[in-house]
C-alpha cells in the first residue's frame, strides 16, 4: 500500500531529512539500509519545483515512525542507551595467568586499563565461584590484571552480566587512574555494601546468599 501526499517544495526536503536520520541511525537499523537505497532511487526520480507528488511506500512509513519514535524517546539522533553487554574495547588474545588486586596502587606500573565494567553476579555462590566468573571473562578478554573495586547487593537477580562502560581509549593506571566514577546511575540504585576482598575472593568457605553488583577493571600489561 502507498500513501500519496502533496507539498510545495517541502516534500523533498522532508524526505531528505528522513534519509539523514536513517544514515545517522544506521547502526540501529542495519536491516533497513537496502530499503533506504531503493526508496532514494524513487525520490531522485521526482520532479522539482511547484507541487511535488511524494509517494511513501509502506517501508518508508515504517522507517519514519521508527526514526521519530527514537528521536522523541531519546531526545537525540543516537540509538538511545548503548548496550553495555557488547564489549567494544581493544581485542587481545586470551590469557592464562591473571593477577587480582583490590587497590589501584597495587597495579604494576606498565599496566593499561582497557575495560571498565559493572558485573552482576547471581545469588547462592561461593567466593570461589564468584572469582571464577570474573576471571573467566578477564582471560577471554586478554587481561593480565583484574582490579576489583567495591561490591554492593544487587536490588534484583540479574544473573551473570558484564556491563561495559569504556574507556574510549585505554590508559595507564599508574598515573591516569580515573577512579570508579563510571556507571553511577546504575551503581547508586543498588543495596547494601558487601565486603569482597582477599579473604572472600576465591574462598570456597564464603557463601553469598544475595545477588551482587561489582566494580571491575581489566588491565593489559604486556
Tell whether 105 and 58 lie within a shared domain. Answer: no
Q: Is 212 a domain residue? A: yes
Tell whether 66 and 107 lie within a shared domain. Answer: no
Determine the Cα–Cα distance for residues 11 and 16; give it in Å rounded to an integer. Answer: 9
The SS3 of residue 60 is: helix
Query: Could you read off the pLDDT of 110-146 as tens digits, one per residue?
Result: 999 999 999 999 999 999 999 999 999 999 999 999 9
| Domain encompassing residue 21 | 2-74
pTM of the entire predicted model: 0.65
Q: Is 58 a domain residue? A: yes
Lowest-confidence pick of 22-26, 95-99, 203-207: 22-26
Average pLDDT over the chain reads: 77
Tell whether 59 and 143 lie within a shared domain. Answer: no
CA dist 160 to 83, 136, 148, 213, 214, Å? 15, 12, 16, 10, 11
Segment 4-16 shows an average pLDDT of: 44
Residue at which a domain ends, from 31, 58, 74: 74
Tell whether 147 and 186 lie within a shared domain. Answer: yes
Number of domains into which the chain is organized: 2
Q: Is 87 a domain residue? A: no
Which residues, including other chains, have CB under 8 Å from residue 120's CB and lie 6 or more apart? 154, 158, 159, 160, 161, 162, 163, 211, 212, 213
Amino acid at each position: 500500500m502507498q500513501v500519496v501526499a502533496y507539498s510545495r517544495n517541502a516534500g523533498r526536503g522532508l524526505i531528505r531529512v528522513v534519509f539523514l536520520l536513517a544514515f545517522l541511525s544506521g547502526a540501529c537499523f542495519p536491516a533497513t539500509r537496502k530499503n533506504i537505497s531503493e526508496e532514494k532511487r524513487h525520490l531522485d526520480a521526482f520532479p522539482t519545483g511547484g507541487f511535488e507528488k511524494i509517494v511513501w511506500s509502506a517501508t518508508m512509513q515504517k522507517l519514519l515512525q521508527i526514526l521519530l519514535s527514537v528521536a522523541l524517546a531519546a531526545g537525540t539522533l543516537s540509538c538511545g542507551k548503548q548496550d553495555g553487554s557488547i564489549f567494544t574495547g581493544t581485542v587481545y588474545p586470551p590469557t592464562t595467568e591473571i593477577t587480582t588486586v583490590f587497590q589501584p596502587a597495587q597495579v604494576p606500573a606498565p599496566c593499561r586499563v582497557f575495560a571498565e565494567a559493572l558485573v552482576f553476579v547471581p545469588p547462592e555462590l561461593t567466593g570461589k565461584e564468584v572469582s571464577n566468573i570474573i576471571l573467566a571473562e578477564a582471560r577471554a578478554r586478554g587481561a593480565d590484571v583484574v582490579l576489583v573495586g567495591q561490591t554492593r547487593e544487587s536490588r534484583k537477580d540479574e544473573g551473570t552480566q558484564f556491563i561495559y562502560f569504556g574507556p574510549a581509549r585505554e590508559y595507564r593506571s599508574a598515573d591516569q587512574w580515573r577512579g570508579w566514577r563510571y556507571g553511577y546511575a546504575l551503581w547508586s540504585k543498588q543495596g547494601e555494601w558487601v565486603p569482597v576482598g582477599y579473604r572472600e575472593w576465591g574462598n570456597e568457605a564464603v557463601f553469598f546468599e544475595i545477588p551482587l553488583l561489582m566494580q571491575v577493571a581489566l588491565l593489559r600489561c604486556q
